[in-house]
Structure 1
Amino acid sequence: MGLVASGAWYFTLGFIEMKICFKVIIALLSLAFTTHMAHAIDISGRAKISDGDTIEIGSQVIRLHGIDTPETGQRCALPNGKTWPCGKAALEYVKELVADTQVRCTGNEFDEYSRLLAICETGEGLEINRNLVDVGLAWAFVRFSDDYVAQERDARAKKIGVWQYETDAPWKFREARWQVAQQTAPDGCPIKGNISRNGQIYHTPWSRYYNKTKISLERGEKWFCSEDEALKAGWRAPFN
Protein backbone atom coordinates (compact mmCIF):
# COMPACT_ATOMS: atom_id res chain seq x y z
CA MET A 1 0.00 0.00 0.00
CA GLY A 2 2.84 2.32 0.91
CA LEU A 3 4.59 1.57 -2.37
CA VAL A 4 1.43 2.23 -4.39
CA ALA A 5 0.78 5.49 -2.56
CA SER A 6 4.40 6.52 -3.01
CA GLY A 7 4.24 5.74 -6.75
CA ALA A 8 1.02 7.72 -7.11
CA TRP A 9 2.61 10.63 -5.27
CA TYR A 10 5.63 10.70 -7.60
CA PHE A 11 3.37 10.37 -10.62
CA THR A 12 1.32 13.36 -9.44
CA LEU A 13 4.46 15.42 -8.85
CA GLY A 14 5.78 14.50 -12.30
CA PHE A 15 2.50 15.47 -13.94
CA ILE A 16 2.49 18.84 -12.16
CA GLU A 17 6.09 19.49 -13.23
CA MET A 18 5.21 18.66 -16.84
CA LYS A 19 2.29 21.11 -16.77
CA ILE A 20 4.49 23.85 -15.33
CA CYS A 21 7.17 23.16 -17.98
CA PHE A 22 4.59 23.29 -20.75
CA LYS A 23 3.22 26.63 -19.49
CA VAL A 24 6.75 28.07 -19.30
CA ILE A 25 7.47 26.98 -22.89
CA ILE A 26 4.21 28.53 -24.14
CA ALA A 27 5.01 31.76 -22.29
CA LEU A 28 8.50 31.93 -23.79
CA LEU A 29 7.22 31.26 -27.30
CA SER A 30 4.56 33.91 -26.87
CA LEU A 31 7.16 36.41 -25.65
CA ALA A 32 9.45 35.61 -28.59
CA PHE A 33 6.59 36.09 -31.06
CA THR A 34 5.57 39.38 -29.44
CA THR A 35 9.16 40.64 -29.48
CA HIS A 36 9.52 39.60 -33.12
CA MET A 37 6.39 41.50 -34.09
CA ALA A 38 7.37 44.53 -32.01
CA HIS A 39 10.55 44.91 -34.06
CA ALA A 40 8.80 44.75 -37.44
CA ILE A 41 9.48 47.88 -39.51
CA ASP A 42 6.77 49.29 -41.75
CA ILE A 43 7.76 51.90 -44.36
CA SER A 44 5.45 53.55 -46.89
CA GLY A 45 5.98 56.13 -49.59
CA ARG A 46 7.04 56.74 -53.17
CA ALA A 47 9.84 54.42 -54.24
CA LYS A 48 13.01 55.14 -56.21
CA ILE A 49 14.47 52.16 -58.06
CA SER A 50 18.09 51.02 -57.96
CA ASP A 51 17.51 47.71 -59.74
CA GLY A 52 14.88 45.00 -59.99
CA ASP A 53 15.14 43.92 -56.35
CA THR A 54 16.35 47.09 -54.61
CA ILE A 55 14.30 50.22 -53.96
CA GLU A 56 14.54 53.25 -51.73
CA ILE A 57 11.75 54.93 -49.77
CA GLY A 58 12.78 58.15 -48.10
CA SER A 59 16.32 57.55 -46.86
CA GLN A 60 15.90 53.79 -46.37
CA VAL A 61 17.30 51.39 -48.97
CA ILE A 62 15.17 48.23 -49.18
CA ARG A 63 16.17 44.83 -50.58
CA LEU A 64 13.20 42.71 -51.65
CA HIS A 65 13.14 39.64 -49.42
CA GLY A 66 13.56 36.14 -50.83
CA ILE A 67 14.22 36.97 -54.48
CA ASP A 68 17.09 37.85 -56.81
CA THR A 69 16.43 39.62 -60.11
CA PRO A 70 18.89 39.72 -63.03
CA GLU A 71 21.40 42.57 -62.75
CA THR A 72 20.75 45.68 -64.82
CA GLY A 73 23.71 44.90 -67.07
CA GLN A 74 22.76 41.23 -67.47
CA ARG A 75 21.43 39.62 -70.63
CA CYS A 76 19.64 36.26 -70.64
CA ALA A 77 19.70 33.51 -73.24
CA LEU A 78 16.97 32.70 -75.76
CA PRO A 79 16.32 29.35 -77.51
CA ASN A 80 17.41 30.81 -80.87
CA GLY A 81 20.91 31.55 -79.57
CA LYS A 82 20.31 35.26 -79.11
CA THR A 83 20.06 37.17 -75.83
CA TRP A 84 17.69 39.73 -74.38
CA PRO A 85 18.20 42.46 -71.72
CA CYS A 86 16.53 40.62 -68.85
CA GLY A 87 18.10 42.86 -66.20
CA LYS A 88 16.77 45.99 -67.83
CA ALA A 89 13.39 44.29 -68.29
CA ALA A 90 13.16 43.50 -64.56
CA LEU A 91 14.11 47.09 -63.73
CA GLU A 92 11.51 48.59 -66.09
CA TYR A 93 8.85 46.17 -64.83
CA VAL A 94 9.36 47.27 -61.22
CA LYS A 95 9.35 50.92 -62.29
CA GLU A 96 5.98 50.38 -63.92
CA LEU A 97 4.61 48.60 -60.85
CA VAL A 98 5.49 51.44 -58.47
CA ALA A 99 4.75 54.37 -60.77
CA ASP A 100 2.11 56.74 -59.36
CA THR A 101 1.49 54.61 -56.27
CA GLN A 102 2.49 54.42 -52.64
CA VAL A 103 4.63 51.41 -51.83
CA ARG A 104 4.45 49.70 -48.45
CA CYS A 105 7.34 47.54 -47.24
CA THR A 106 7.46 45.42 -44.09
CA GLY A 107 10.55 43.71 -42.68
CA ASN A 108 12.37 43.03 -39.43
CA GLU A 109 16.02 42.58 -40.33
CA PHE A 110 18.83 44.29 -42.21
CA ASP A 111 21.56 42.89 -44.40
CA GLU A 112 25.28 43.68 -44.19
CA TYR A 113 24.75 46.83 -46.27
CA SER A 114 22.10 48.22 -43.86
CA ARG A 115 19.32 47.50 -46.38
CA LEU A 116 15.98 46.53 -44.89
CA LEU A 117 14.98 43.05 -46.07
CA ALA A 118 11.28 43.41 -46.74
CA ILE A 119 8.15 42.26 -48.50
CA CYS A 120 6.74 45.17 -50.48
CA GLU A 121 3.29 45.87 -51.88
CA THR A 122 1.88 48.43 -54.27
CA GLY A 123 -0.97 50.68 -53.22
CA GLU A 124 -3.34 48.19 -54.89
CA GLY A 125 -2.10 45.38 -52.64
CA LEU A 126 0.05 43.56 -55.21
CA GLU A 127 3.08 41.90 -53.61
CA ILE A 128 6.09 42.93 -55.68
CA ASN A 129 8.41 40.12 -54.51
CA ARG A 130 6.02 37.33 -55.43
CA ASN A 131 4.88 38.97 -58.66
CA LEU A 132 8.43 39.27 -60.02
CA VAL A 133 8.90 35.53 -59.56
CA ASP A 134 5.44 34.80 -61.00
CA VAL A 135 6.23 36.58 -64.28
CA GLY A 136 9.67 35.02 -64.62
CA LEU A 137 11.74 38.11 -63.81
CA ALA A 138 13.29 36.85 -60.57
CA TRP A 139 14.80 33.75 -59.03
CA ALA A 140 13.80 32.44 -55.62
CA PHE A 141 16.88 33.38 -53.57
CA VAL A 142 17.09 29.98 -51.87
CA ARG A 143 20.41 30.77 -50.23
CA PHE A 144 18.43 32.97 -47.84
CA SER A 145 14.78 31.90 -48.15
CA ASP A 146 12.56 29.26 -49.76
CA ASP A 147 9.43 31.44 -49.66
CA TYR A 148 9.11 31.67 -53.45
CA VAL A 149 10.28 28.25 -54.57
CA ALA A 150 6.78 27.20 -55.67
CA GLN A 151 6.33 30.36 -57.75
CA GLU A 152 9.72 29.79 -59.42
CA ARG A 153 8.74 26.20 -60.22
CA ASP A 154 5.56 27.42 -61.94
CA ALA A 155 7.44 30.06 -63.97
CA ARG A 156 10.02 27.45 -65.03
CA ALA A 157 7.25 25.13 -66.20
CA LYS A 158 5.72 27.93 -68.29
CA LYS A 159 9.15 28.84 -69.75
CA ILE A 160 8.52 32.54 -69.30
CA GLY A 161 10.93 35.39 -68.65
CA VAL A 162 14.38 34.20 -67.58
CA TRP A 163 13.22 30.59 -67.94
CA GLN A 164 12.89 30.71 -71.74
CA TYR A 165 16.32 29.08 -71.95
CA GLU A 166 19.11 28.08 -69.60
CA THR A 167 20.88 31.18 -68.31
CA ASP A 168 23.14 32.19 -65.42
CA ALA A 169 21.48 33.05 -62.13
CA PRO A 170 22.31 36.59 -60.91
CA TRP A 171 24.69 35.38 -58.19
CA LYS A 172 26.75 33.49 -60.78
CA PHE A 173 26.68 36.49 -63.11
CA ARG A 174 27.93 38.78 -60.31
CA GLU A 175 30.71 36.39 -59.36
CA ALA A 176 31.94 36.08 -62.96
CA ARG A 177 31.92 39.84 -63.56
CA TRP A 178 33.70 40.47 -60.27
CA GLN A 179 36.49 38.03 -61.09
CA VAL A 180 37.09 39.56 -64.52
CA ALA A 181 37.09 43.16 -63.22
CA GLN A 182 39.46 42.30 -60.38
CA GLN A 183 42.18 41.38 -62.84
CA THR A 184 42.62 44.96 -64.05
CA ALA A 185 41.40 46.99 -61.06
CA PRO A 186 43.94 48.71 -58.78
CA ASP A 187 44.79 46.41 -55.85
CA GLY A 188 42.05 44.05 -57.07
CA CYS A 189 39.34 46.47 -55.89
CA PRO A 190 36.94 46.76 -58.85
CA ILE A 191 34.10 48.97 -57.59
CA LYS A 192 34.20 52.43 -59.19
CA GLY A 193 33.43 55.42 -56.98
CA ASN A 194 32.32 58.09 -59.44
CA ILE A 195 31.55 61.76 -58.69
CA SER A 196 28.95 63.43 -60.92
CA ARG A 197 26.31 66.13 -60.76
CA ASN A 198 24.08 63.49 -59.13
CA GLY A 199 26.52 62.99 -56.27
CA GLN A 200 28.93 60.27 -55.22
CA ILE A 201 27.78 57.09 -56.93
CA TYR A 202 29.48 53.70 -57.02
CA HIS A 203 29.26 51.19 -59.85
CA THR A 204 29.78 47.45 -59.41
CA PRO A 205 31.22 45.30 -62.23
CA TRP A 206 27.72 44.05 -63.08
CA SER A 207 26.25 47.54 -63.42
CA ARG A 208 25.19 48.55 -66.93
CA TYR A 209 27.15 51.81 -66.46
CA TYR A 210 30.36 50.11 -65.33
CA ASN A 211 32.31 50.06 -68.59
CA LYS A 212 31.31 53.65 -69.40
CA THR A 213 32.48 54.97 -66.03
CA LYS A 214 36.03 56.31 -65.86
CA ILE A 215 37.75 57.00 -62.54
CA SER A 216 39.86 60.11 -61.94
CA LEU A 217 41.77 60.02 -58.67
CA GLU A 218 42.66 63.69 -59.19
CA ARG A 219 38.95 64.59 -58.94
CA GLY A 220 38.59 62.65 -55.70
CA GLU A 221 37.06 59.58 -57.28
CA LYS A 222 37.98 56.22 -55.81
CA TRP A 223 38.19 52.48 -56.22
CA PHE A 224 36.51 50.31 -53.57
CA CYS A 225 36.99 46.68 -52.58
CA SER A 226 33.38 46.15 -51.45
CA GLU A 227 29.97 47.78 -51.53
CA ASP A 228 30.13 48.11 -47.77
CA GLU A 229 33.35 50.12 -48.05
CA ALA A 230 31.78 52.39 -50.68
CA LEU A 231 28.67 52.98 -48.58
CA LYS A 232 30.67 53.81 -45.46
CA ALA A 233 32.73 56.30 -47.48
CA GLY A 234 29.55 58.15 -48.48
CA TRP A 235 28.91 56.76 -51.96
CA ARG A 236 25.54 55.27 -53.01
CA ALA A 237 24.28 52.88 -55.66
CA PRO A 238 22.84 54.49 -58.83
CA PHE A 239 19.14 55.03 -59.32
CA ASN A 240 17.83 53.76 -62.63
Structure 2
Amino acid sequence: MRSWPYLFVLLLGTPALADPIVGRASVTDGDTVVIRETRIRLHGIDAPESAQTCKDATGKDYRCGQAAALALADHIGKRVVTCEPRDTDRYGRVVAVCRAESKDLNAWMVREGHAIAYRRYSEEYVNSELTAKSLRHGIWAGTFQDPSDWRREKRAGGEHSRPETLAAPTKASGCNIKGNISAGGERIYHLPGTRDYDRTRVNDRAGERMFCSVDEAKAAGWCAPRS
Protein backbone atom coordinates (compact mmCIF):
# COMPACT_ATOMS: atom_id res chain seq x y z
CA MET A 1 0.00 0.00 0.00
CA ARG A 2 1.28 3.45 -0.93
CA SER A 3 2.22 5.75 1.94
CA TRP A 4 0.36 8.98 2.50
CA PRO A 5 3.35 11.20 1.59
CA TYR A 6 3.69 9.36 -1.73
CA LEU A 7 -0.01 9.78 -2.52
CA PHE A 8 0.17 13.48 -1.54
CA VAL A 9 3.04 14.13 -3.96
CA LEU A 10 1.33 12.06 -6.64
CA LEU A 11 -1.84 14.09 -6.37
CA LEU A 12 -0.27 17.54 -6.16
CA GLY A 13 2.76 16.95 -8.32
CA THR A 14 6.30 18.20 -7.72
CA PRO A 15 6.91 21.95 -7.36
CA ALA A 16 7.45 23.61 -10.75
CA LEU A 17 10.78 25.26 -11.35
CA ALA A 18 10.69 28.98 -12.15
CA ASP A 19 10.71 29.71 -15.86
CA PRO A 20 13.92 31.06 -17.38
CA ILE A 21 14.13 34.83 -17.79
CA VAL A 22 15.09 35.66 -21.35
CA GLY A 23 15.88 38.95 -23.06
CA ARG A 24 18.35 41.74 -23.64
CA ALA A 25 20.24 42.51 -20.44
CA SER A 26 21.45 45.80 -19.03
CA VAL A 27 24.31 45.62 -16.55
CA THR A 28 23.96 47.25 -13.13
CA ASP A 29 27.31 46.06 -11.80
CA GLY A 30 29.69 43.14 -12.16
CA ASP A 31 27.28 40.62 -10.68
CA THR A 32 23.85 42.13 -11.36
CA VAL A 33 21.87 42.49 -14.58
CA VAL A 34 18.36 43.64 -15.44
CA ILE A 35 16.13 41.86 -17.97
CA ARG A 36 12.67 43.30 -18.65
CA GLU A 37 12.69 45.21 -15.33
CA THR A 38 13.67 42.09 -13.36
CA ARG A 39 16.84 42.56 -11.32
CA ILE A 40 19.00 39.44 -11.38
CA ARG A 41 21.96 38.66 -9.09
CA LEU A 42 24.44 36.25 -10.69
CA HIS A 43 24.52 33.07 -8.62
CA GLY A 44 27.70 31.96 -6.89
CA ILE A 45 29.90 34.95 -7.69
CA ASP A 46 30.79 38.26 -6.04
CA ALA A 47 32.24 41.16 -8.05
CA PRO A 48 33.89 44.31 -6.67
CA GLU A 49 31.36 47.04 -5.88
CA SER A 50 30.84 49.97 -8.24
CA ALA A 51 32.81 52.38 -6.04
CA GLN A 52 35.47 49.85 -5.03
CA THR A 53 39.09 50.33 -6.05
CA CYS A 54 41.84 47.72 -6.35
CA LYS A 55 45.55 47.90 -7.14
CA ASP A 56 46.91 46.71 -10.46
CA ALA A 57 50.19 44.87 -11.06
CA THR A 58 52.15 48.11 -10.66
CA GLY A 59 50.43 49.02 -7.39
CA LYS A 60 48.32 51.75 -8.97
CA ASP A 61 44.70 52.21 -7.85
CA TYR A 62 41.98 51.60 -10.41
CA ARG A 63 38.18 51.29 -10.38
CA CYS A 64 37.93 47.50 -10.37
CA GLY A 65 34.18 47.56 -9.68
CA GLN A 66 33.59 49.77 -12.68
CA ALA A 67 35.94 47.61 -14.77
CA ALA A 68 33.95 44.49 -13.83
CA ALA A 69 30.66 46.05 -14.89
CA LEU A 70 32.10 47.27 -18.19
CA ALA A 71 33.66 43.87 -18.88
CA LEU A 72 30.32 42.11 -18.35
CA ALA A 73 28.45 44.64 -20.51
CA ASP A 74 31.01 44.36 -23.31
CA HIS A 75 30.98 40.55 -23.14
CA ILE A 76 27.19 40.40 -23.38
CA GLY A 77 26.96 43.04 -26.06
CA LYS A 78 23.63 42.78 -27.89
CA ARG A 79 23.22 39.06 -27.33
CA VAL A 80 20.09 37.64 -25.77
CA VAL A 81 20.67 36.43 -22.22
CA THR A 82 18.90 33.48 -20.58
CA CYS A 83 18.85 33.32 -16.78
CA GLU A 84 17.83 30.21 -14.86
CA PRO A 85 16.53 31.18 -11.39
CA ARG A 86 18.02 29.45 -8.36
CA ASP A 87 16.72 31.60 -5.50
CA THR A 88 15.63 35.09 -4.39
CA ASP A 89 17.91 37.21 -2.21
CA ARG A 90 16.99 39.52 0.68
CA TYR A 91 16.78 42.50 -1.67
CA GLY A 92 14.13 40.78 -3.77
CA ARG A 93 16.50 40.07 -6.66
CA VAL A 94 16.30 36.81 -8.57
CA VAL A 95 19.49 34.79 -8.06
CA ALA A 96 20.31 32.94 -11.26
CA VAL A 97 22.84 31.35 -13.57
CA CYS A 98 22.84 33.46 -16.73
CA ARG A 99 24.04 32.47 -20.17
CA ALA A 100 24.63 34.18 -23.50
CA GLU A 101 24.55 31.74 -26.41
CA SER A 102 24.77 28.87 -23.89
CA LYS A 103 27.99 30.26 -22.34
CA ASP A 104 27.86 30.63 -18.55
CA LEU A 105 28.33 34.35 -17.77
CA ASN A 106 28.83 33.68 -14.07
CA ALA A 107 31.75 31.37 -14.80
CA TRP A 108 33.19 33.78 -17.37
CA MET A 109 33.26 36.66 -14.89
CA VAL A 110 35.17 34.56 -12.35
CA ARG A 111 37.48 32.93 -14.90
CA GLU A 112 38.49 36.31 -16.32
CA GLY A 113 39.21 37.68 -12.84
CA HIS A 114 36.35 40.20 -12.76
CA ALA A 115 34.66 38.44 -9.81
CA ILE A 116 35.42 35.80 -7.19
CA ALA A 117 33.61 32.63 -6.22
CA TYR A 118 31.04 33.50 -3.55
CA ARG A 119 31.83 30.55 -1.30
CA ARG A 120 29.35 31.69 1.32
CA TYR A 121 26.54 30.57 -0.99
CA SER A 122 28.12 28.17 -3.48
CA GLU A 123 31.38 26.48 -4.46
CA GLU A 124 30.24 26.06 -8.05
CA TYR A 125 32.81 28.51 -9.41
CA VAL A 126 35.79 27.74 -7.19
CA ASN A 127 37.67 26.01 -10.04
CA SER A 128 37.08 29.04 -12.28
CA GLU A 129 38.55 31.24 -9.55
CA LEU A 130 41.61 28.99 -9.21
CA THR A 131 42.16 29.29 -12.96
CA ALA A 132 41.94 33.10 -12.84
CA LYS A 133 44.27 33.24 -9.86
CA SER A 134 46.90 30.98 -11.45
CA LEU A 135 46.85 33.00 -14.68
CA ARG A 136 46.70 36.33 -12.79
CA HIS A 137 43.66 37.49 -14.70
CA GLY A 138 41.82 40.67 -13.78
CA ILE A 139 41.94 41.55 -10.09
CA TRP A 140 44.39 38.68 -9.48
CA ALA A 141 47.09 40.61 -11.38
CA GLY A 142 47.36 42.96 -8.41
CA THR A 143 45.78 43.16 -4.96
CA PHE A 144 42.18 43.63 -3.90
CA GLN A 145 39.85 43.37 -0.94
CA ASP A 146 37.14 40.73 -0.85
CA PRO A 147 33.98 42.59 -1.97
CA SER A 148 32.00 41.38 1.06
CA ASP A 149 34.71 42.74 3.40
CA TRP A 150 34.71 46.03 1.48
CA ARG A 151 30.94 46.34 1.89
CA ARG A 152 31.17 45.55 5.59
CA GLU A 153 33.83 48.21 6.18
CA LYS A 154 31.91 50.78 4.22
CA ARG A 155 28.76 50.16 6.26
CA ALA A 156 30.83 50.53 9.42
CA GLY A 157 32.30 53.82 8.18
CA GLY A 158 35.86 52.51 7.91
CA GLU A 159 38.71 53.61 5.69
CA HIS A 160 36.92 52.34 2.61
CA SER A 161 33.96 54.63 3.14
CA ARG A 162 32.97 57.15 0.54
CA PRO A 163 35.80 59.60 -0.29
CA GLU A 164 35.49 63.15 0.92
CA THR A 165 35.46 64.81 -2.52
CA LEU A 166 31.83 65.46 -3.33
CA ALA A 167 30.21 66.97 -6.38
CA ALA A 168 27.63 69.68 -5.82
CA PRO A 169 24.18 69.15 -7.39
CA THR A 170 23.95 70.89 -10.76
CA LYS A 171 20.59 72.54 -10.24
CA ALA A 172 21.46 75.33 -12.62
CA SER A 173 21.45 72.86 -15.53
CA GLY A 174 18.06 71.46 -14.52
CA CYS A 175 19.60 68.04 -13.83
CA ASN A 176 18.73 67.81 -10.14
CA ILE A 177 17.93 64.12 -9.64
CA LYS A 178 20.62 62.62 -7.40
CA GLY A 179 22.00 59.21 -8.32
CA ASN A 180 23.45 57.63 -5.19
CA ILE A 181 25.18 54.26 -4.68
CA SER A 182 24.20 52.63 -1.38
CA ALA A 183 26.51 50.78 1.00
CA GLY A 184 25.28 47.52 -0.49
CA GLY A 185 26.07 48.67 -4.03
CA GLU A 186 22.48 49.49 -5.03
CA ARG A 187 22.01 52.42 -7.41
CA ILE A 188 19.18 54.62 -6.15
CA TYR A 189 17.90 57.94 -7.50
CA HIS A 190 16.41 60.64 -5.25
CA LEU A 191 13.94 63.25 -6.50
CA PRO A 192 13.83 66.81 -5.12
CA GLY A 193 11.46 67.02 -2.18
CA THR A 194 11.72 63.36 -1.22
CA ARG A 195 12.77 62.18 2.24
CA ASP A 196 16.50 61.60 1.68
CA TYR A 197 17.14 64.16 -1.06
CA ASP A 198 18.68 66.96 1.02
CA ARG A 199 21.06 64.70 2.94
CA THR A 200 22.20 62.79 -0.14
CA ARG A 201 25.58 63.85 -1.52
CA VAL A 202 26.72 62.91 -5.02
CA ASN A 203 30.28 61.63 -5.30
CA ASP A 204 31.31 61.44 -8.95
CA ARG A 205 34.57 59.71 -8.02
CA ALA A 206 32.52 56.82 -6.63
CA GLY A 207 30.48 56.51 -9.82
CA GLU A 208 27.53 58.56 -8.59
CA ARG A 209 25.93 61.20 -10.82
CA MET A 210 23.11 63.64 -11.45
CA PHE A 211 20.22 62.92 -13.83
CA CYS A 212 17.94 65.19 -15.78
CA SER A 213 14.92 62.85 -15.74
CA VAL A 214 13.60 59.70 -14.13
CA ASP A 215 13.72 57.93 -17.51
CA GLU A 216 17.41 58.78 -17.83
CA ALA A 217 18.13 57.42 -14.34
CA LYS A 218 16.24 54.18 -14.99
CA ALA A 219 17.94 53.68 -18.34
CA ALA A 220 21.33 53.94 -16.59
CA GLY A 221 20.35 51.25 -14.08
CA TRP A 222 19.25 53.38 -11.11
CA CYS A 223 16.01 52.59 -9.28
CA ALA A 224 13.64 54.46 -6.96
CA PRO A 225 14.22 54.12 -3.20
CA ARG A 226 12.10 51.61 -1.30
CA SER A 227 9.27 53.26 0.57
TM-score scaled to structure 1, two decimals? 0.65
The answer for the alignment partner of 1:14 in structure 2 is none
Specify which of 126, 130, 133 is matched with residue 149 of structure 1. 126
1:35 and 2:35 are equivalent in the alignment: no
Change (3 A) 1:129 1:46: same
1:237 Cα deviation after fit? 11
State the structure with more CA Rg. 1
- RMSD over aligned Cα, in angstroms? 3.8
The answer for the alignment partner of 1:125 in structure 2 is 102
Judging by fraction of residues, say which structure has more helix: 1
Q: Which stretches of structure 1, 4 residues or longer, exceed 3 Å deviation after superposition?
A: 196-202, 205-210, 235-238
Stretches of structure 2 that go unaligned for 5 or more consecutive residues are 162-173, 201-216, 223-227
Q: How many residues align?
A: 188
Change (3 A) 1:208 1:121: closer
Specify which of 7, 21, 24 is matched with residue 46 of structure 1. 24
Specify which of 105, 117, 133 is matched with residue 140 of structure 1. 117
Stretches of structure 1 that go unaligned for 5 or more consecutive residues are 1-19, 185-195, 225-234
Alpha-carbon distance in 1 for matches of 2:150, 2:122: 20
Specify which of 120, 123, 137 is matched with residue 160 of structure 1. 137
Alpha-carbon distance in 2 for matches of 1:157, 1:98: 25
Change (3 A) 1:171 1:125: same
1:1-26 CA-partner distances (Å, limit 9, x unpaired): xxxxxxxxxxxxxxxxxxx9xx97xx
| Residue pair 2:187, 2:221 contacting (<8 A) in 1 also | no
Alpha-carbon distance in 1 for matches of 2:176, 2:120: 34
Alpha-carbon distance in 1 for matches of 2:19, 2:180: 27
| Residue pair 2:43, 2:86 contacting (<8 A) in 1 also | no
Alpha-carbon distance in 2 for matches of 1:141, 1:77: 21
Alpha-carbon distance in 2 for matches of 1:208, 1:104: 23
1:95-152 CA-partner distances (Å, limit 9, x unpaired): 1122211111011421111111100011x22211000011011100000111001111
| Residue pair 1:203, 1:238 contacting (<8 A) in 2 also | no
Alpha-carbon distance in 1 for matches of 2:108, 2:82: 15
1:93 and 2:93 are equivalent in the alignment: no
> What amino acid maps onto 1:41 in structure 2?
D
Change (3 A) 1:147 1:208: closer
Between the aligned residues of both structures, percent identity stands at 30
TM-score scaled to structure 2, two decimals? 0.69
Specify which of 57, 62, 75 is matched with residue 84 of structure 1. 62
1:199 Cα deviation after fit? 7.3
The answer for the alignment partner of 1:104 in structure 2 is 82
Change (3 A) 1:56 1:199: farther
Change (3 A) 1:205 1:109: closer
